[in-house]
Each structure stands twice: as structure tokens, then as C-alpha cells.
Amino acid sequence: MKLSYSDIIDSRKGEAAVVVGAGPSLNNNKKQIIDAQKDGLIKICVNEWFRLFENNSKPDYLVLASGHHTDSITAHGPIANELKFPIFYANSTDATPQSWVEENMKADWFGFDQRHWQGKNCRHLIGEIAHWIAEEYHRLTGEYPLPNSIKEGSTDGYPLFPIDMHSLNAVTGGSSSFFRGATSPKAEELKEMIQRAPEGFSLQNLKMYGNNGIMWDGRWPYGGLCEAVRWEFDATAGWRAVPRFPCTKVGDASTLTVQETLQNTSGFDCHYSTGDTVIVHALAFAILMGCNPIYVTGMDLDYRVGYASSQAAPLNNDWQRFARNLINDLKILNESAIMRGIEIINLQKDAWYGQIKHGELK
């Protein structure tokens, strides 16, 4: 059955839950979690949960937020149907057609957005960001950047600097991997572009989406928009958004992201970013459901220590590269929980990111 936020918010109010990540610290608590689940502890898992638990100890909820097929609702849906547990999946990144979900899902499911702020599609959002960038340059310098880049009468009413908005939603485009590797030849151009920015310019001042400027930190100018969009820098044209495929956003301002829904529900003054890891969304749903206390385990956020299973970890330092944003997201989630009278407890001692107090599973 298709769920809605009204089915989710406060649906497990006052019930203890554990949010389970795939980090090796999970192994310190795994048996205790399996035993506690038999006594009513709600287990919220992410991604390939079946690699982590012997005898396929099933989750009570599964949260997915990936564009990879192995972590899609297509891959996990049949298992959820068989074992009868709900799936919350990010339909803003999962390429599974809505029609497939509606026709094949027998278990409860909910498709959530975690990228399209204020119910706006990528074309609209990027236009607003381009407008803000141009006006911020103008405020600081008295001039607009890149001559002839501001065009009147665009179809969306926004200046076209530094983004060619009219290329959005085209089926073809350029490179989709610019921000995937720090060794890209264009990485140096990115650094040079930042250095040429006027004194005082920072996208951390861009707070019109959830009063959170830190979510842009380290990703100038890309801040986690829809998977349909990647950015490229052209020496003549400047920055432009290059589509991988049409933006899949459907709906209107009433279809808010999970971040905005949590902000509205908790009353906290800002919301977390698009998320560098699915576990932040799992925590958000635990808070929305009203679970209390919420334990979290396996949230090592460090590929260098591997996974709780024998699965090989990626050879990169993404967690450290985006450390400031991760720390800020966890702070926002913890403060949002406190606003709802909910306690979050990290079962991992001395976690590098802090923000959530350590405690034991009771």
C-alpha cells in the first residue's frame, strides 16, 4: 500500500527504535539488537541489510536513497513483499518508474523526495540559484559576472548566469562525472573559478532553502540537486548545468522533501542537506515516526575501517571530504529530535563526528 506522511508522522510514537548502518561498529551490538527486536525494538535498516544479519533477521523498515540498481526499490521490493516490511525510498534518485512500484509493491511503500526544495523541479531551482549568484556578485562588485551573461525575457524569468537553463530536460548532455573525482582535469578550473570570486562571496550565504548554507560547503557550485543534473565549467560560457536525463520531479509545493517535512514537524530553524549518506534519512524518518529513544549503530562514516560485513569498502575519503556538512546534518537531526522530545543515542563510542551522545542499548 502506498503511504503518505500522514501515515508516517507519530505512527510509532514513544516506541524505541534502532537505526542500523553498515559500519563495523555494528558488530559490537548485533546480537543485542537481534534479541531486543524480538522484544519489540523497531529496527530501521538501510541498503543491503541482508549482508549484515545472519538468518536474514528482517528489518521493520528499510530506507533507500540511491541511484544504484542494487539499492533500488526494484531490487529490494520483492524481498519486502515476501517478508512484509515497509520501504521508504527516495524517488528523487531511484530511476524505478512509478508505474512499476504501483503495480509490483504489495508491502507498504513510500516514495520521498530529498532534493527538490519547496516542491520545485531542477529547472526552477537552478534558475533561482543562478539568479542568486548573479545578484550576489552584483551586490559585492557593482557588476554582473561574465559580460552578456544576463539575458532578459528568459522563459522562467531568471537570469541565465551562470547556467544554461534551456539545456535542462534535454535528453542528451555532456559529462556526468565532473564532481565524481577530485583528479578530474576540470578540478583545477573549479579552484581557479573559486579564487576569482569577489571577496566576501560564498554560497554558504545562500540560505533560501532551509536556512542552511553549510550544505553547499565543498561543492561549489553544485549543492546536491537532482541526479538529473551535473555541472561543467566552460572557459567561455562559465558554469552550466548539464542534464543526464530529464528531471523526474513531479508534483507541486505541497510535495515537500523529507528535510522540509521534518523541519515543519519539529519546528527547528533549519533543515539538513540532501544527505551524504542514506542513514541521515533513516534517522529523519525515525524522528518523524516519533520513535523514542532512537539508538543508532554502524554509523562509522569512515570507509577506511570497512563494513560490518565482509564486503569491500570504496577506496575514497568521501566522508572526510564532506565532514563539515555531515557534522552539520547530524547536529540538525539531533536538535530536531530534541524539539520533538526525542533522545538519540549513538551506540558507537567516540565517533569522530560527535553531535550525538554515546550510550548503551537498554
Residue 135 in any domain: the answer is: yes
Domain assignment present for residue 307? The answer is yes
Using the predicted structure, report yes or no on whether residue 154 has a pLDDT greater than 60.
Answer: no
More confident residue, 204 or 56: 204
pLDDT of residue 252: 53
Q: Are residues 181 and 154 in the same domain?
A: yes
Beta partners for residue 240, in sequence order: 232
Specify the pLDDT at position 153: 34
- What is the phi/psi pair of residue 179, to 5°? -95, 15
Tell me, yes or no, whether 17 lies in a domain.
yes
Query: Domain end: 243, 269, 287, which one?
Result: 243
Tell me the residue range of the domain where 288 lies. Answer: 5-114+257-346
Rounded to an integer, the average pLDDT of 139-150 is 59
More confident residue, 206 or 259: 259
- Cα gap 106→233, rounded to integer Å: 45
321-335 pLDDT, tens digit per residue, is 778 889 999 999 999
227 and 188 housed in the same domain: yes
Residue 322 forms part of a structural domain: yes
Longest dimension (CA), the chain: 67
Strands 229-234 and 238-243: antiparallel
Same domain as 233, residue 137: yes
Kindly tell me if the per-residue pLDDT of 231 is higher than 60.
no
* Average pLDDT score over residue span 256-263: 95
Percentage of residues of the chain with pLDDT beyond 90: 42
Q: What is residue 67's predicted lDDT score, i.e. its pLDDT?
A: 72
Q: What is the pLDDT of residue 274?
A: 86
The pLDDT mean for the chain works out to 77
Q: What is residue 131's DSSP assignment? A: H
Question: Left if phi > 0, otherwise alpha if psi is -120 to 50, otherwise beta: which for 328?
Answer: alpha
Check whether 308 has a pLDDT greater than 60.
Answer: yes
CB atoms inside a 10 Å sphere around CB 106? 12
Whole-number pLDDT of residue 234 = 52
Query: Given a cut of 90, is residue 191 above it in pLDDT?
Result: no
Of the residues 216, 243, 270, the one at which a domain ends: 243
Segment 219-224 long-range contacts (CB within 8 Å, at least 24 positions apart): 219/179, 219/322, 220/190, 220/193, 220/194, 221/129, 221/133, 221/162, 222/179, 223/129, 223/273, 223/274, 224/115, 224/273, 224/274, 224/275
Q: Are residues 26 and 110 in the same domain?
A: yes
Same domain for 126 and 207? yes
111 - beta bridge partners?
A: 89
Query: pTM of the prediction?
Result: 0.82
For residue 49, which of 78, 15, 79 has the smallest C-alpha distance? 79
Q: Are residues 150 and 219 in the same domain?
A: yes
- Asked whether residue 239 carries a pLDDT value surpassing 80, the answer given is no
Q: Final residue of a domain: which of 195, 211, 243?
A: 243
Q: Residue 86: which CATH number?
A: 3.90.1480
Domain count, the chain: 2
Question: Is there a single domain that holds both residue 132 and residue 230?
Answer: yes
Distances in Å between the Cα of 357 and the Cα atoms of 33, 57, 289, 330, 354 are 19, 27, 21, 11, 7
HSE-CB at 60 with a 13 A cutoff on CA atoms is 23
Residues 88 and 124 both lie in one domain: no
On whether residue 98 sits in a domain, the answer given is yes
Q: What is the pLDDT at residue 332?
A: 97
Verify that 87 and 180 share a domain, yes or no. no
Residue 100 lies in a domain: yes
In the predicted model, what is the mean pLDDT of residues 70-77? 89
Q: Give the residue from 74, 40, 77 showing the smallest Cα distance to 60.
A: 40
Non-local CB neighbours of 342 within 8 Å, separated by 6+ positions: 287, 290, 291, 292, 293, 294
Place of cell 548573479: 134
Q: Are 59 and 79 in contact (CB under 8 A)?
A: no
Provide the pLDDT for residue 358: 96
Convert 274-292 to b/e letters by CB count within 10 Å (16 or more is b). bbbbbbbbbbbbbbbbbbb
Q: Is residue 191 part of a domain?
A: yes
* pLDDT above 80 (res 177): no
Q: What percent of the chain has pLDDT over 70?
A: 70
Asked if residue 248 belongs to a domain, the reply is no
Q: What is the pLDDT of residues 90-143, one digit of tens each?
A: 988 887 888 899 999 999 999 998 888 888 876 677 667 767 777 787 788 787
Query: Do 178 and 289 lie in a common domain?
Result: no
Kindly state whether residues 157 and 107 are assigned to the same domain.
no
Q: What's the mean pLDDT in 211-238?
A: 57
Of residues 221 and 29, more confidence is placed in 29
Beta strands in 52-208 (DSSP E): 61-64, 87-90, 109-112
Considering the domain architecture, whether residues 155 and 211 belong to the same structural domain is answered as yes
State the DSSP H helix or E strand holding residue 234, giving kind and residue range, or none if neither: strand 229-234
